[in-house]
Amino acid sequence: MRVLVVGGAGYIGSHTARILRKRGHEALIYDNLSTGHAFLANGFELIQADFADLARLVPALSRVDAVMHFAASADAGESVRDPRKYFENNFRKALTFLNAVIDSKIRYFVFSSTCAVYGAPSRVPITEDLPREPVNPYGSSKACFEYALKAYDQAYGLRFASLRYFNAAGADESGEIGELHVPENHLIPGAFEAVLGLRPELQIFGDDYPTADGTCIRDYIHVNELKRCAGRCPNASLPAAPETHRCWLPTPQKQRKF
């Protein structure tokens, strides 16, 4: 299967492109490089363009059978400071992209969503029958797009998988690619930067959570597990009904353990 990996020069998208190729698919990477890096697409064809640029997008869609969407803005704190950016990119532009997918007669769509759509869940582990009640614009913008996917499935026969997960971490087994954000505000890379002297200290926020030491507990999933989950989705065996997959590790970690 030929797959357009939108946001494929980013962290999770670049790992997913490699597992697609390993499984015999042909991955075409599409990324505007606003947060991605061209070298993460080495070995793949890279189309550098915005995913709402129809002049560049439509010809790319004509070459593929399925799409995977990793191009959302993904900083919850920033979304509170600048909600306009998040609804613009994660919903308005994403809807332009989705409409182009439908117009191109593509019916297989994999969406990199987030467990932030649940907000503050009433119980843990989270089950998919819990209501989506996001508490920040990041989660809200992703939830809006999930509702659009469901409506498009019902109206146009779109087959989609929505992957909800918390914090991806780690790197490809080859060591050729890994986690790289600018600026880097993720805990595990931050810990390494502190050890290497690239930042003065590792900051941990919050000391009044209902835990033994007051710090929050975070769920992590290794990026290799996530890419394997994503890599199973864009094929002809997608079910006749939409799917939502929660991807998470069963053992949460306290921040101070790092």
Strand partners, 2: 26
- Alpha-carbon distance of 27 to 45, in angstroms, equals 8
**DSSP state at residue 187:** H
Strand blocks (E) in 90-148: 108-112
138 has catalytic annotation: yes
Q: Are 167 and 219 in contact (CB under 8 A)?
A: yes
| Beta pairing, strands 217-218 & 253-254 | antiparallel
> Could you tell me the two tokens for 220?
């992590």
Q: Can you tell me which residue has the tokens 């991605």?
A: 36
- Alpha-carbon distance of 224 to 248, in angstroms, equals 12
- Residue (of 19, 102, 66) closest to 234 by Cα position: 66
φ, ψ dihedrals at 178, nearest 5°:
-170, -160
- Alpha-carbon distance of 101 to 70, in angstroms, equals 15
**61: Cα within 13 Å, side-chain hemisphere:** 24
The active-site residue, picked from 11, 138, 152, 220, is: 138
The residues assigned a catalytic role are 138
